[in-house]
Amino acid sequence: MLDMEFRILYWLQELRSPALDQAMEAITHLGDKGWFFILLGAALFFIPRTRRAGTAVLLSLLCGMIVGNLCLKNLVMRPRPCWIDASVPLLIPVPHDYSFPSGHTLAAFETAVSIFLVNRKWGTAFLIFAALIGLSRMYLFVHFPTDVLSGAALGIFIAWFVKKGIEKYRLCDILRVQKNKKAE
């Protein structure tokens, strides 16, 4: 399996060009530390008509950080492709945490699916963006394809699970009621 994954990564390296290098770096940097997704979730949360999507994004990101970045990465301890084959020149600094699952892809898909479940038009655009984030992580030689696929699958599951929890516990209604009580 690892051999097949490296073949895919080496094929992506053959596609490298200055324009594509810049584009992939820019795309991946939007996912650095999750700030773009956190700020987007916060912005959606503070707009009353998008509060449900914002709540879902923020709760999904929190769950993903715990499950993916804190638990799975440290349980699986999978080395990154750039650690195994240091001969491939990197365009970004060498990451120091483990590879599985891709945290960038996880956060991107949690955000995209959370939005998609509320607004299909915007969600579709964010799903395309999430796929590009995953592709950029492989192009930049810092994740294996299974890291990216697992990050995407986990992100989809977490976003769906959080949405169901929000619906079950009517979390947005609770937040609205508390806000109204404070205003009185």
Question: What are the extents of the domains in the chain?
Answer: 35-182
pLDDT-derived band at 176, boundaries 50, 70, 90: low
Is residue 42's pLDDT more than 80?
yes
pTM of the model: 0.88
CB 122 within 8 A of CB 57: no
- pLDDT at position 60: 97
- pLDDT at position 33: 87
Distance (Å, whole) CA 140 – CA 25: 8
Mean pLDDT, residues 14-26:
96
pLDDT-derived band at 106, boundaries 50, 70, 90: very high
Distance (Å, whole) CA 173 – CA 89: 51
Residue 5 makes CB contacts below 8 A (sequence gap 6+) with 81, 144, 145, 146
Query: Angle between the 145-169 and 2-14 helix axes, to the nearest 10 degrees?
Result: 100
User: Tens digits of per-residue pLDDT, 48-60?
Assistant: 899 889 999 999 9
